[in-house]
Chain A
Amino acid sequence: MFKKLFSIKTIVAIGIGAAVFIILAKFASIPSPIPNTSIQTSYAFLALMAIVFGPIAGGLIGLIGHALNDAISYGSVWWSWVVVSMIVGFLIGLVAKKIDIESGDFSKKKIITFNITQVLAQAIGWLLIAPLLDILIYAEPANKVFAQGFFAVVSNIVTVGVIGTILLIAYAKTRSKSNSLHREL
């Protein structure tokens, strides 16, 4: 079963994906007008990888990328939020088959499917799971962690919605569509 789930391509995609996730999280996050929150372009990338390589790759890129990034830039891993990155990557990846980006066709309908999925996935992750784990593990005050979750969810949904969609459109353009050949007359 493992062999089927983890093809060589998936393994490599997880490894390189996690490395890119870390670099984007470190160098390509844009500070937003709201203090203490930044526009995390790395989550747009995570969404793209989840759509291209499926839920397993998406989940593990989120898990490994976020955990390693925490470890090398803060020296300690904030597990409650790392788990959420994994869940978000996994959930977005669930519609990978349906969107089928490799067909080169990323129409309006598929853009809507993608965005509904990412909004749902992130709402579950940042608004529900992250605060609950923070309360369970660190016994932090409930209203503080829910406020943090709220900021995270708004900025990440906007980021993935805007940058993620742009990235997917750009990626779809690089794939050749089926039935795209024309006979020259």
Chain B
Amino acid sequence: MAVEMLSYIERKSPIHELTGVTKLICFIIWSSAAMLTYDTRILAFLFIFSIVIFFISKIKLKEISFILIFILVFLLLNNIAIYAFSPQEGVKIYGTSHVLFEIFGRYNVTIEQIFYQINITLKYFTVIPVALLFIATTHPSEFAASMNKIGVSYRISYAVALALRYIPDVQRDFRNIALSQQARGIDMSSKEKLPKRIKNATSIIIPLILSSLEKIDTISNAMELRGFGKNKRRTWYSARPFQKRDYLTLIAFVLLFVISMVVTYYDGDRFYNPFV
């Protein structure tokens, strides 16, 4: 049951010192830029830039390698699926067809298809380092405070904070229930047949749900007693004031976003086409 999860990594680095709000806004700007553009030059630039930020943060590759392997396998499968379903997608997008070699039927290898799939992979790659960094360098309770600061209602921010706070608790409950049910001979592993396995899974889920509903009652009573939700605003223990470096980072990211949008769309198409 020792599944590793990505979480906050304590360290002293310029990225850690930025406030959560700055990091959250930069992360949103970055993902929207990567989502909107399909321009290879911009994607490549963003990717290289994100690796530079990664080095500045002093997070070691070793600390997040378990997740990276996961992502790489997923991207590989995704690429195979794209090719299997649509080997001519690149030709359709870029309008030309330079065949390298034929396999059979409509399955041939064109430069356009390779270029298109490289672009898709690059698109994921530009977001991954920044997303990983955002999670690894932002303290969970500061994250909720930041959401509130950029305009999300504090009630919703608090729900997110609660979720982050209770993941380890629920995980412990789940493990206890699963172990005690296994001690009673209820098997969840692949040795059991599928319908039986589903039935056995529910025998773990039902106690988990009932104990969680009880938790909901206890916590909401405690919050009610402390007068949660009485006022329109609330302050956060872990919120930090803005500093010069925060303003500078924000300006830099907004500029980056504007430039990448201009470069992407000035020829009227989100794809960069080297073939015509």
Q: A interface vs B, CB < 8 Å?
A: 2-3, 6, 8-9, 11-20, 22-24, 26-28, 30-33, 36, 39, 41, 44-45, 48, 52, 60, 64-65, 68, 71-77, 79, 137-144, 147-148, 162-163, 166-167, 170-171, 174
Given A16-B216, A143-B86, list of 5 further CB < 8 A pairs? Answer: A6-B155, A14-B159, A20-B212, A27-B178, A60-B159
Given A75-B6, A137-B35, A16 and B198 contact (CB-CB distance below 8 Å): no
Contact of A8 with B224 in the complex, beta carbons under 8 Å: yes
Choice from A8, A17, A27, A48 contacting B220 with Cβ under 8 Å: A8
Q: Is B46 an interface residue (CB 8 A)?
A: no
How big is chain B's contact interface, by range?
Answer: 35 or more
- State A105–B143 Cα separation when bound (angstroms): 41
B122 to chain A, nearest CB (A): 12
- State A8–B217 Cα separation when bound (angstroms): 10
- State A68–B135 Cα separation when bound (angstroms): 10
B138 to chain A, nearest CB (A): 11
A30 neighbours in B (Cβ, 8 Å): 194, 197-198, 201
* Cβ < 8 Å to A, chain B residues 123-148: 123-124, 127-128, 131-132, 135
Choice from B1, B64, B120, B163 contacting A22 with Cβ under 8 Å: B163
A47 to chain B, nearest CB (A): 12
* Cβ < 8 Å to A, chain B residues 197-219: 197-198, 201-202, 204-206, 208-210, 212-213, 215-216, 219
Choice from B120, B169, B212 contacting A140 with Cβ under 8 Å: B120
18 contacts between A and B (CB under 8 A): A9-B216, A11-B162, A14-B156, A15-B160, A20-B212, A22-B163, A23-B174, A24-B174, A30-B197, A41-B201, A44-B205, A68-B167, A72-B6, A73-B70, A75-B68, A76-B71, A76-B124, A167-B206
Q: Is B257 an interface residue (CB 8 A)?
A: no
Q: B interface vs A, CB < 8 Å?
A: 1, 3, 5-7, 31, 35, 38, 64, 67-68, 70-71, 74, 77, 81-82, 84-86, 89, 93, 120, 123-124, 127-128, 131-132, 135, 153, 155-156, 158-167, 169-171, 174, 178, 188, 190, 194, 197-198, 201-202, 204-206, 208-210, 212-213, 215-216, 219-220, 223-224, 228-229, 271
Contact of A75 with B170 in the complex, beta carbons under 8 Å: no
**Of residues A24, A33, A142, which shows the largest number of chain B Cβ atoms within 10 Å of its Cβ?**
A24
- State A101–B224 Cα separation when bound (angstroms): 24
Q: Count A/B pairs, Cβ under 8 Å.
A: 191
Choice from B82, B161, B215, B228 contacting A8 with Cβ under 8 Å: B228
Given A2-B153, A19-B169, A27-B174, A141 and B198 contact (CB-CB distance below 8 Å): no
Contact of A68 with B163 in the complex, beta carbons under 8 Å: yes
Given A14-B159, A39-B198, A75 and B171 contact (CB-CB distance below 8 Å): no
